């Protein structure tokens, strides 16, 4: 089954909004066995939208529209589908009743224009919207399908949720994906190690996605998914402690789980990251069970007064040094009262500091059995150095906790 | 001048990468007077790429391709342009010499495949890439232009920088945009206030962009830009201290500038944001002149032991309270040694805390002349509440500093 994604909205062409829906739909459609051959952004312009629907119905079996289902006169997706498929809009009384009920619950008067959302092209099925007002639409058209989904990403995800299994059934393809998540090794070396130990069976695709100091080794099977298990096991064995998780795991999630399993906590002392490491460790709900807090000692003197780094260490070795990183980790552990102290200090740029070049970062982890320090030289500008430092720090703690 | 944007890469259709280049190009092209009528993602598939270039040359005067200029066999943009325009690739010795020199500087051997980047379609001009290896391409074709830019966003921006003034000259349109940046007021109320005081002259467009607790009031003039000044002044006057900046200003930048002008510093104590507020205040280079650090007291007891909130305040009012927010701000100011202390405490969710619903946030600023506390009820899930809290806190400090 071939598919086209049409993201509707002039703001996409003007660049006021990044088209993240296209990426979300691309992933979901691929998983449901639909090959997306076109992904297009289109302005709020009825003739153009109708022409594009016609065009993409010629080469695709499924045309997915997102956006343009709101209540205003700029919202043209319903009208465009009706015109393109010769399926005049019909008012659905039960959708109107649901809209009235929703606004009653919101406690605000319902604008008259919202009733446009009760209009459905003849023959289309309305898809319930549990988190907003615009229903989605599913319209069989000859041997093809048009699918319309609301533009706000959380509404799109909620309305489309029941559609994915339905599409997977239509395509008859169960695409199964397994990912091995790796850090501490660049993409070429990961590929070399993986390809030395595996032989790819028929119907399985292998790809690598690198970004943010993480490499994802991805296997996709379009047939029997049981062939994936030995491949994943072989990669796990070959990459050993470089593997920190699988599939939808996140590095912070893995760290929290390892801490929770031991009944332990972590506290942070950070400098160049300015709070990003604490933010990463508090991103998920429930993190208060394992994350105590962070001392962001951005000014050098706070490394002493807030975290307890000895003045002599700062004077002798500087703020960006292995010795200061170790003292910060030990200080985070004792001052913030945690089982583990995790610390970073370094040069985010744009200029060197204490004679150390941009990207120089010292990371330290202090635990019940001592302190480890590593020095890294990270690439990129200020934002990238800060982001890579967070990943490297989480990975250091992960290894100290014995995961991998 | 009508334009088409073709983002090249199968990863865009699979949804592995969000197409942020399309938004960047949309904004830049609009500013240069090019109306983007199509924005398309296309797979690494030579026949399809050639067909799309042909198709978009029919309806557009400018076709911009991004991505597919790398050294691997998957990088097909050069070949596609050559095929579509009947302009065979020619090896440029001077580009080869530059590539050799770049790899010499990087200190790594140059892979043979990189020499593909020295190939240029006949008649095309190579555009220098100061931050990577792939040059861009500018190819006049009949009365139209093809422009090819590298895919990595920072390379794209750098290679394209000299192109925008050139395009503006070609279009003869100088599109001038002015933005008034507003917080503390929702989009409908901003629109009401703006439209009560201005009359839009011919050739000026007005739009509103809302996101992240900030509303951007945008005027775009396609002719004489001097008509914009009185409009901006009228909006500034009407919205008074709700206006915190203009054009490319950022809230953290405005705060740093106001602090620097007074020769003062700020320190933070934060809870639900876990470090995001410190991260925002250390995002830009040079922020160490005005930002001291942050005490991320995620665990309640650290609010006392790290920041000095009296135990009695915590016991009587709870961690999420106006009293604790005020004590945190005062504690940040004294413990971290700054002129201003900024603090946030609240409920990020997903569940209520101390009987207070998700989104309840107390913000406090302590300064030389006392402490202000505000309570807000922020919408959305955990991530959104945390992000909106950062914006609200920066805005509170901005007002305390008398900006606006």
> What number of residues does chain A have?
404
Predicted-assembly ipTM surpassing the 0.90 threshold:
no
Separation in Å, CA A233 to CA A191, A203, A228, B97: 15, 18, 9, 46
In chain B, which residues have their Cβ closer than 8 Å to the Cβ of A278?
274-275, 278, 296, 298
Return the pLDDT at B164.
Answer: 96
Separation in Å, CA B329 to CA B305, B316, B318: 14, 18, 16
Return the pLDDT at B230.
Answer: 97
Return the pLDDT at B166.
Answer: 95
Q: Do B37 and B163 sit in the same domain of this protein? A: yes
Is residue B402 classed as helix, strand or coil in its secondary structure?
coil
Mutate to test the interface with A, among B16, B293, B344 (most CBs of A within 10 A): B293
Q: What is the pTM of this model?
A: 0.86
Match 């200020």 to its residue by tokens: A382
Q: Do B275 and B337 sit in the same domain of this protein? A: yes
Q: Do B241 and B274 sit in the same domain of this protein? A: no
Looking at residue A133, which CATH number applies to its domain?
A: 3.40.980.10
- Name the more confident of A154 and A291: A291
Q: Which residues of chain B have pLDDT under 50?
A: none
Match 């990183």 to its residue by tokens: A325
The answer to whether the Cβ–Cβ distance between A41 and B25 falls below 8 Å is no
Q: Do A31 and A158 sit in the same domain of this protein? A: yes
Confidence band of A160 (pLDDT split at 50, 70, 90)? very high
Calculate the average pLDDT of chain A. Answer: 94
pLDDT reading at A404 higher than 70? no
Q: Do A14 and A52 sit in the same domain of this protein? A: yes
Please provide residue A253's backbone torsions phi and psi, each rounded to the nearest 5 degrees.
-65, -40
Confidence band of A43 (pLDDT split at 50, 70, 90)? very high
Q: Do B230 and B271 sit in the same domain of this protein? A: no
Q: Do B336 and B351 sit in the same domain of this protein? A: yes
Residue A360 parent element (H or E): strand A360-367
Which DSSP letter does residue B112 get?
Answer: G
Return the pLDDT at A324.
Answer: 98
- Residue range A155-184: mean pLDDT, rounded: 92
pLDDT of A261-285, one tens digit each?
A: 999 999 999 999 999 999 999 999 9
Structural domain span for residue A225: 176-246
Q: Do B88 and B73 sit in the same domain of this protein? A: yes
Domain count, chain B: 3
Q: Do A197 and A339 sit in the same domain of this protein? A: no
Cα atoms found within 13 Å of the Cα of residue B395, Cβ hemisphere only: 22
Return the pLDDT at A71.
Answer: 86
Looking at residue B219, which CATH number applies to its domain?
A: 3.30.70.2860
In chain B, which residues have their Cβ closer than 8 Å to the Cβ of A74?
none
Domain limit, last residue, from A171, A201, A226: A171
Domain limit, last residue, from A221, A246, A271: A246
Interchain CB contact of A205 with B (< 8 Å): no
Interchain CB contact of B109 with A (< 8 Å): no
Looking at residue B288, which CATH number applies to its domain?
A: 3.90.950.20
Domain limit, last residue, from A216, A246, A276: A246
Return the pLDDT at A305.
Answer: 97
pLDDT of A247-259, one tens digit each?
A: 999 999 999 999 9
Q: Do A204 and A93 sit in the same domain of this protein? A: no
Confidence band of A333 (pLDDT split at 50, 70, 90)? very high
N-terminal to C-terminal alpha carbon distance within chain B = 39
Interchain CB contact of B184 with A (< 8 Å): no
Which DSSP letter does residue A117 get?
Answer: G
Q: Do B267 and B388 sit in the same domain of this protein? A: yes
A-contacting residues of B 339-358, CB under 8 Å? 348-351
**Of all residues in chain A, what percent carry a pLDDT higher than 70?**
100
Return the pLDDT at A13.
Answer: 95
Return the pLDDT at A117.
Answer: 94
Return the pLDDT at B168.
Answer: 92
pLDDT reading at A304 higher than 70? yes
Q: Do A54 and A108 sit in the same domain of this protein? A: yes
Return the pLDDT at B381.
Answer: 84
């Amino acid at each position: 089954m071939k598919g086209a994604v049409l993201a509707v909205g002039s703001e996409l062409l003007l660049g006021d909004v990044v088209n993240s829906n296209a990426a979300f739909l691309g992933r979901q459609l691929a998983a449901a066995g639909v090959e997306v051959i076109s992904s297009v952004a289109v302005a709020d312009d009825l003739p153009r939208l109708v022409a594009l629907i016609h065009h993409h119905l010629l080469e695709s079996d499924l045309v997915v529209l997102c956006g343009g289902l709101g209540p205003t006169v700029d919202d043209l997706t319903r009208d465009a589908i009706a015109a393109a498929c010769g399926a005049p809009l019909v008012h659905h009384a039960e959708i109107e009743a649901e809209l009235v009920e929703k606004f009653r619950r919101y406690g605000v008067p319902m604008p008259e224009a919202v009733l446009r959302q009760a209009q459905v092209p003849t023959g289309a099925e309305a898809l319930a919207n549990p988190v907003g007002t615009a229903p989605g639409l599913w319209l069989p058209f000859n041997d093809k399908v048009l699918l319309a989904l609301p533009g706000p990403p959380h509404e799109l995800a909620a309305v489309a949720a029941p559609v994915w299994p339905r599409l997977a059934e239509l395509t008859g393809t169960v695409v199964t994906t397994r990912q091995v998540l790796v850090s501490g090794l660049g993409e070429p070396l990961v590929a070399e190690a993986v390809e030395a130990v595996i032989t790819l069976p028929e119907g399985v695709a292998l790809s690598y996605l690198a970004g943010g100091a993480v490499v994802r080794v991805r296997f996709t099977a379009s047939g029997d998914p049981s062939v994936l298990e030995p491949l994943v096991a072989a990669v796990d064995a070959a990459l050993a402690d470089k593997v920190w998780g699988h599939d939808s795991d996140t590095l912070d999630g893995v760290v929290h789980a390892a801490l929770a399993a031991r009944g332990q906590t972590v506290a942070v002392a950070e400098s160049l990251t300015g709070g990003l490491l604490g933010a990463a460790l508090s991103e998920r709900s429930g993190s208060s069970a394992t994350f105590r807090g962070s001392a962001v000692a951005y000014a050098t003197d706070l490394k002493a007064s807030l975290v307890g780094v000895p003045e002599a260490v700062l004077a002798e070795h500087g703020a960006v040094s292995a010795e200061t990183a170790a003292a910060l980790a030990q200080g985070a552990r004792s001052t913030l009262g945690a089982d583990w102290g995790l610390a970073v200090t370094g040069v985010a740029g744009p200029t060197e500091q204490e004679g150390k070049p941009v990207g120089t970062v010292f990371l330290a982890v202090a635990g019940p059995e001592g302190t480890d320090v590593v020095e890294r030289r990270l690439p990129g500008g200020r934002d990238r150095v800060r982001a890579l430092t967070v990943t490297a720090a989480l990975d250091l703690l992960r290894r100290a906790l014995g995961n991998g």
